[in-house]
Every structure is written in structure tokens, then in C-alpha cells.
Amino acid sequence: MWISQVRALNLLLAVLQAMSEANSSGCKLQGTSTPPALYNDGDFLIGGIFSLHYYMRVVEHNYSSRPVPLQCTGRLSSEELHFARGMEFAIEQINNRSDLLTNIKLGYQIYDSCAAVPMAQKVAFQFANGQDTEITMVTSCSKVANVVAVVGASSSTPTMAMCRVLGLFGIPQVSHFATCACLSDKQQYPAFFRTIPSDQFQAAALAQLVKHFGWTWIGAVRSDSDYGNSGMASFLAAAQKEGICVEYSVAFYRTNPRSKVERVADVIRSSTSRVIVAFLASGEMRTLLDEFGRRPPPPLQWIGTESWVTDQEVLKSGLFPGAVGFGIERSVIPGFREFLLDLSPLKVSNSPLLREFWEGTFDCLLPLINTVPSQGVKKCTGTEDLSVLKNPYTDTSQLRITNMVYKATYAIAHALHKVLCEDKEKALSQCNKNKAVEPQEVLEQLKKVNFTVNGYPVTFDSNGDPVATYELINWQVAEDGAMHFVTVGRYDASKAKSQEFTLTKNIIWMNGQTQVPVSVCSESCPPGTRKAAQKGRPVCCYDCVPCGEGEISNKTGIFW
């Protein structure tokens, strides 16, 4: 006890001494800044953050030496790289326009979040503070934030962590893929906007879908995260109002031990319900796919959310033919494919991220400057052709989330244009590139944006949310045996109640069925019988017993 007190006292004295030195000579950065994955300088910078990798290196700290910098690990997500380059493309396009931010060059700093909170928080502080290694202490700080606004992140939990930092400085954040309904709370997240709809609408749409097809007995699996837990809670509340019973509701996270994932998979395999609603992020769905690859479940009708139901990598697994779910509307961005394919060996060599993508895609090594790869290692020739590849990076046939990135970037540009180029008092003929822009100014203008780009309207309600519209996607097997996304319906939250959901094409269900699958706990009771509740089980589960003496039922499903 005495030794612990001495150590604590010594630590306090060291902190006080450091503070004293800082006050007299300035502040020095103690940690190591994380460099951006993609960067371009400009008059004003927009931040971007994407889940370019799905894991962060975990290190046990003994507190006897300086902690090692945070680092992302795992396979590079070509889909997330595609999103990040969508932001690059939008900024390049804006810089070439004569009617938006005239004579202003936008730059960007794009970071990898590893889909992890610690990295997201670190990047948020860098967006707010910059990367100066030494700051001289003065009586007042005139430095504005390093960026005027941020695009991202790609999932709800890291986004929430960033919002709590950026919101303190009034730095607006416009996400393309964070859908948790909780983010609509302006008390907690005053500087948050998104171009993708809130899960509040998706949960309601899923409940309507389940009711429409007469499924009263379902299973439920979710990501054990803010996205999954909040989304599933909203869905279950809506489903209960529709008289839908849930056989089981299980959760896991992609970094859980395999034993946890196995237990979840076993619950699904042993269930009696034939329909399963999966409120899963793509990372958890891929983890579940790995488990089902070892021991597949019986045929199930999978109902999915926008996070995985339009994910090309999940589609390629071939495990869930007939899956149905709501996805963000498909779009077209002219010129984007050419931009993606315009990667020369020189561009790739100068970017560690693009080098990783190139080498992983073509299974070869690019020589570093003034070096030659070791003998026996396949060298990249520089003539590799991206255009012949079919992967999420090159695919521009299903631009859904990419369009959300594109719209988010344009929203920030339009807000910045209002701040720099529409000063009515000075009647500016050109944009004022010398103005010190406070992020709060951009935040206020984001609340008012209302424009159309490529035919897609962009506006935000008082919660920072867009109008909620979805396509109903069906995984259908084509004649060549490959699965494809087919749009079979639509959901539009702006329509009158009970008219939001429409079907436009026939759905091909699990096992290629054209008939709607049946998923009930108990079949309807025939005339002459009545329902009798089963003790301790949901109301959807019952026995059919003969009517009592002097009683009669001439309809099915009578519950006495």
C-alpha cells in the first residue's frame, strides 16, 4: 500500500513538472501522428475516414516504455478503398468546376479508421488539432481546426466516438454509412449529418416486409455494436406491434472468440423458424460466412440490412440464394470508372495504400525506389490491367454507398461555398480564399443545403438526416449460375402510411422457390378446433384442440 502511494505521488510530481515546463516553453506532441492514407494539399482541407482495414493491432502495454503507435491490420478492403476514391473524385470534380468554389482548390486528408474506436478518436483529434509537433502557449489561441469538415466514418460506433470529439469544436461530420438511429440525437451529436437514411426507417421497413409475407415466427441475429443493437431493438419493437414472434435473438462481434461465433451459428442451425432477420454489419456477416463455410445451416430465408445485402464479397459466397433486404438506391456517377482505372505504376508506388492494393490485387511486388525485390519474388511489371478485373474496387454497376460519399463531399463543398463566395455585404465576385474559416460557419450552412447533383437531391432535416428511400434487393441466380442483385421493390418513407412499401417484380426465394416460404410456430387451427396457448411460449405458438360442448368455430385461427 505504501509503495503504491509513493509511486502515485512520484507520478503526480512528474505530471506537475511537465505541465510547468509546458507553460513556460510550449506544448510538445508526445505521441506519434498517424499519417493520412490519401492526401492532397489545397486552400481548404476536407477530412475523410474509411474502414480501409477491419482490424487494429492489439498490443499489451506494460507502461515501462512509450506505447507503440496505433496501426491497422488485416486485409485491405477494396470496397472501402473504392469509397475513399469516390471522395477524391468528387473533390477533383469540384476543383474543375467554374460555378462552385471558384478559384478555390479543395484538398483532403483521408485516414483509415480500422473500423475501431481508438483509431477513430485519434484521427478526430488530428482533424481538430493538426499535426504540429510543438505549440507555443499564448494567452489566446487563434488557430482554427485542421479541416473545415469531415466525411465519414463507415460505421456507427467509430462515428459516434468521433462526433463526441469533433462536436466539441463545432467541426461538422457527414457520414455516408453510419446508420444508427441514435445519431439523430442533436443533443448528443450536434455537428452530425448523414447522406444515408437512419435505421429507424429501415427497421420499420423490415417489419412491414415480414408482415407482408405472413411470417410470424422468425429468428434474429445482430452485430453486437451500436449499429446492430440499436437497429435490432427498433426492429423488434416494430415487429411486436405487427404480431410477429421471435424464436431467438443472438448477437456477436467480429473480434469475439470463435467459440462465441460457433454458439451463435449453432442457435441458427437448430432453430425451427425458417426466416432470419440479420441486422449485421458486413464485417460480422463475413465472420458468420466463415463459420457457415465449415458447416452450413439448413435452408433459411435470409432478410438483410443495407450493410451486407448489397455487399459484393458476401454475394460471392453463394451461401444465401434468395436473400431479400433493403439497400441504398443504385446510382450513376459519370466519369468515375475512368478515374478508378487511372492508376499508373508511378501513382501506385508513391502511395503505401495504393501499393498495398496493387500488390494484393495482382499478387506481385512493386520495387521500392532504388531497390529490387528479392530473388524468387514475383515482380509487378507495371503493365497489369485493372480494367479486366471484377472486384469491388472496379465495379461501378452498383454505385450505392459510393453515391452517399459523393453527396456528402458535395454537401460540404456547397456549405463552404456559402461561407466563402456569397458574402452579400462585400458583394464578392470571387471566392475569398484568404478567409480563416471557422468550422462552425460550415456547420450552420450545412443545415441549409438544398441542391441536386447528377440528378440526386441533397438536403438534411432538423436531425441531420436525409429523406429515407430504399430499394428492395433479391439475390437471384442467373442462367450462368452466378448470383446477382435484382431490384424487386421500393420503400419510400415520404409516402403516406401503409403506402411506403411497393413490390415491382416477383421474388425468387430460398432454393429457387417461387412460392413464399412459410415460417410459423403453429399452423392455423381448422374449423371445429380452437387455439390453446402453450404455457411459457410466445403467443404465436399454440395447440389446436377440439371445441368444447356447445361451442362451434367455422373459421380457421380462432383463439379462445
* CATH number for domain 522-560, candidates 2.10.50, 1.10.3470, 3.30.1360, 2.40.160: 2.10.50
Give the DSSP letter of residue 494. Answer: T
> Is residue 286 packed enough to be buried (19+ CB in 10 Å), middle (13-18) or exposed (0-12)?
middle
- Kindly state the DSSP code that residue 331 receives in the 8-state scheme: B
Name every residue whose Cβ is closer than 8 Å to that of residue 28 and which is 6 or more positions away in sequence. Answer: 22, 133, 134, 135
> What is the per-residue pLDDT for 31?
72
Per-residue pLDDT tens listing for the chain (560 residues)? 444 555 555 555 555 555 555 555 556 666 788 999 999 999 999 999 999 998 999 888 788 888 888 999 999 999 999 999 999 999 999 999 999 999 999 999 999 999 999 999 999 999 998 666 665 555 455 556 799 999 999 999 999 999 999 999 999 999 999 999 999 999 999 999 999 999 999 999 999 999 999 999 999 999 999 999 999 999 999 999 999 999 999 999 999 999 999 999 999 999 999 999 999 999 999 999 999 999 999 999 999 999 999 998 899 888 999 999 999 999 999 999 999 999 988 889 889 999 999 999 999 998 765 455 556 678 888 889 999 998 999 999 989 999 999 999 999 999 999 999 986 555 556 799 999 999 999 999 999 999 999 999 999 999 999 999 999 999 999 888 889 999 999 999 999 988 999 999 999 999 999 999 999 999 988 888 888 888 888 999 999 998 876 666 655 554 44
Pairing of the two strands 149-151 and 44-50: parallel
Nearest to 162, CA basis, from 197, 204, 104, 111: 111
SS3 assignment, position 367: coil
Homologous superfamily (CATH) of 33-58+68-197+399-459 is: Response regulator (3.40.50.2300)
Q: Do 33-58+68-197+399-459 and 199-327+468-512 agree at the fold level?
A: yes
What the block records as the C-alpha cell of 59 is 498490443
Domain residue spans in the chain? 33-58+68-197+399-459, 199-327+468-512, 340-388, 522-560
Sign of CA dihedral 411, 192, 122, 53: negative
Nearest alpha carbon to residue 122 among 69, 193, 67: 69
pLDDT at 26: 58
Cα-atom radius of gyration of the chain, to the nearest Å? Answer: 27
Class of domain 199-327+468-512 as given by CATH: alpha beta
d(CA 384, CA 351): 17
Q: What is the pLDDT of residue 349?
A: 87
d(CA 441, CA 420): 10
Which of 396, 406, 394, 392 lies closest to 75 in space, CA to CA?
A: 392
Per the CB < 8 A criterion, the answer to whether 415 and 449 are in contact is: yes
Smallest Cα–Cα separation from 414: which of 455, 459, 454? 459
CA 259 from chain centre, in angstroms, equals 26
> Cα separation of 521 and 173, whole Å?
45
Answer yes or no: are the C-beta atoms of 210 and 239 closer than 8 Å. yes
For residue 150, the surrounding DSSP H or E stretch is strand 149-151
Task: Write out the three cell numbers for 67.
Answer: 506505447
User: From CA 557, how far away is CA 109, in angstroms rounded?
Assistant: 61
Do the strands 275-279 and 245-252 form a parallel or antiparallel pair, or are they unpaired? unpaired
DSSP annotation string for 182-241: GGG-TTT-TTEEESSPPHHHHHHHHHHHHHHTT--EEEEEEESSHHHHHHHHHHHHHHHH
Q: Which pLDDT score, from 0 to 100, does residue 126 have?
A: 93
Residues shown for the chain: 560
